[in-house]
Structure 1
Amino acid sequence: MTSLTPPCSDVAVEALPGTAKTGSTYVLFEWPGAWSRDVLDGGTFGEELTNKLKAHVERYNATLLLIRHSTREARQITDHHVYLVFADQGITEVLHVDGPEDVLDLDLSGVGKNGAKLRTTPLLLICTHGKRDTCCAVKGRPLVNELRRGDEVWETSHIKGHRFAPTMMLMPWAFSFGHMSREATSAMLDHAEDGLFFVPGNRGRGTLTPPEQTAEIAVAAELSHQGIKVGIDQLQVRIDANGNAPTATVTVKNRDTGDEYEVKLRQKDIEGVVDSCGKAPKTGKGWVVENITPGR
């Protein structure tokens, strides 16, 4: 039976801010072969190794993502890139290993534990995981092919939010972006190389909670509207404890000037969310900014 619902990424009923994938430690493993629907379901690496990989990354509260180049020529490899991302410190390390079993030997507790080299340029991971959701293949892969940025841009396995395809993550900060065009993606990478915050398409910084993500983007947008360039790590974000309350107050501090902004937010219901291709619309939730109050 043919689904009557449109592709999930064509249903734009949600605001992007506050929807980023959360997490701070990532293992990006180069795997040019086929990816199963869930790269840790046993279909990619077999059941025994998969169980060991799951246990290893869970021990460190880390996330394993598979990456690969877009061209057949670049997928002919003799060893595998591994990028270790520590987003709470804004650091990426790189090393090469012989195979996926070598991931089990990595100490993911922090920087400088594995003899890896420091990477000083950004990494952009664009989801092309078609077995997880069709939109990622249809919209993600052409974007990867259009970008010519050397080793900055990689295909990646599922990073959540395929309803925002083409969806991507910018490392080492773990920013998520959605509904990005080629022009916007190139501009975002240019900003990242210059150490600048990029607002369009920004879903949030993955080291923050959803209301914190929303508040940081709102203040960055306000400053940008004033013609002020915002550094990628210029804003310090602190939320008042709110538990599961549908409202939140977040303080965003400009580290350069000392200025503080109090951001009031509320959570609202969003009707008609299609979170994956073929699924029926449902009611979701999202954070919206009520007001921003400048202060010192």
Structure 2
Amino acid sequence: MTLPRCSDVHVEPLPGSAKQGSVFVCFEHPGGWSRDVLDGGTFGPELTARLKSALKGRAGLQLIRRPGREGRLVERPHLFIVHAQSATTELLRVDGPEAILDLELETPMANGGTAVAEPLLLVCTHGKRDLCCAVKGRPLAATLRDGPLGHSVWETSHTKGHRFAPALMLLPWAYSYGQLNEPAAASLLEHAHAGDFFHPGNRGRGVFDSAGQVAELAVAQRLLEAGERLRFGDLTATGGQVSHIDGRCWAVDMERTYVEGAIASCGKAPKAAKVLVARSVEQTG
């Protein structure tokens, strides 16, 4: 029996599935990406061990490259340091991955780089991790790169959630997205440049845990459906408690349940998956 591709099976809710993290190092590496970019196959065992030590508990690493053949020709790689809590991005041009070892990662804009005001949209194309990301991510990245805001688009290594491919990460806010077609992804990019919250395909903000992601998206949906303008970063979530920068607060009741037929990765058999869903939203302040 031939199993379907994992991203062709849409049984899991998107909210609550975002890659978690608040600090990200995005290094331009147009060469080959091994299955895990820190398994020794990309940078070799010695440098990989040093990179792991330098980043552990401090930041997540994303390898990035420009879509298309021109993205393989790099003289001095881009290196972005993103602090999602403060929504700040710092850009350095470096000689190689060794530059990651000396980064100051605890404080935003502490490395003498250039502040980047515009968002970055990372599209996972990491085919060695899962085929779906190559099949669905690469065409989307190429199309977006040819659009009017294409300078903000990068291919990236694994972002978690290839079963939702094409899988995207929006920085500097650390929102993950999935299952967007080309028009929807282009709309996401337009919203991001305006700072306006984009709800379709939103899997959550990585600075929150799974419950916080579900709760924030439930409140965001309620506000957007009421016709309110919402901007990225307006909401903060702690578990089921959500607050707005204007002082309003909500309590979101959630339930853990199961869905049948989820496929975690291509080649794996379908199974039940535990998910967290919002049941009600009540304004408390």
TM-score range, shorter chain: over 0.9
In structure 2, the partner of 1:36 is 34
Distance (Å, rounded) in 1 between the aligned partners of 2:209 and 2:223: 21
1:256-275 aligned within 5 A: 256=246, 258-275=247-264
Return the offset for 1:259: 2.4
Deviations along 1:65-101, one digit per CA (max 9) or x if unpaired, are 1000112123211111000011111111100100111
Return the offset for 1:24: 0.7
One-letter code of the match for 1:222? R
Q: Which runs of 4+ in 1 moved over 4 A?
A: none
Structure 1 residues 44 and 185 mapped into 2: Cα distance closer, same or farther (>3 Å)? same
Distance (Å, rounded) in 1 between the aligned partners of 2:217 and 2:71: 36
In structure 2, the partner of 1:255 is 245
Q: Is the 8 A contact 2:89 2:109 kept in 1?
A: no
Structure 1 residues 295 and 151 mapped into 2: Cα distance closer, same or farther (>3 Å)? same
Deviations along 1:108-150, one digit per CA (max 9) or x if unpaired, are 1221321111100000000000011000000000001111223
SS in 1 for 2:92: strand
Task: Structure 1: give runs of 5+ residues left out of the alignment.
Answer: 240-249
Match of 1:134 among 131, 140, 164: 131
Scaled by the length of structure 1, the TM-score of the pair is 0.93
1:46-195 aligned within 5 A: 46-58=44-56, 60-147=57-144, 148=147, 149-195=149-195
SS in 2 for 1:271: strand
Task: Structure 2: give runs of 5+ residues left out of the alignment.
Answer: none
SS in 2 for 1:101: helix
In structure 2, the partner of 1:25 is 23
SS in 1 for 2:220: helix
Q: How many residues align?
A: 282
One-letter code of the match for 1:180? L
Distance (Å, rounded) in 2 between the aligned partners of 1:161 and 1:131: 14
Deviations along 1:203-241, one digit per CA (max 9) or x if unpaired, are 0000001111011111111111111111111122233xx
Distance (Å, rounded) in 1 between the aligned partners of 2:98 and 2:236: 38
Q: Is the 8 A contact 2:88 2:109 kept in 1?
A: no
Distance (Å, rounded) in 2 between the aligned partners of 1:237 and 1:227: 21
Q: Is the 8 A contact 2:208 2:238 kept in 1?
A: no
Scaled by the length of structure 2, the TM-score of the pair is 0.96
Distance (Å, rounded) in 2 between the aligned partners of 1:224 and 1:75: 40
In structure 2, the partner of 1:6 is 4
Deviations along 1:217-271, one digit per CA (max 9) or x if unpaired, are 11111111111111111122233xxxxxxxxxx1222223x32221100111222
One-letter code of the match for 2:78? H
In structure 2, the partner of 1:231 is 231
Return the offset for 1:283: 1.8
Distance (Å, rounded) in 2 between the aligned partners of 1:255 and 1:86: 19
My pick for the range that moved more, 196-205 or 74-83, is 74-83
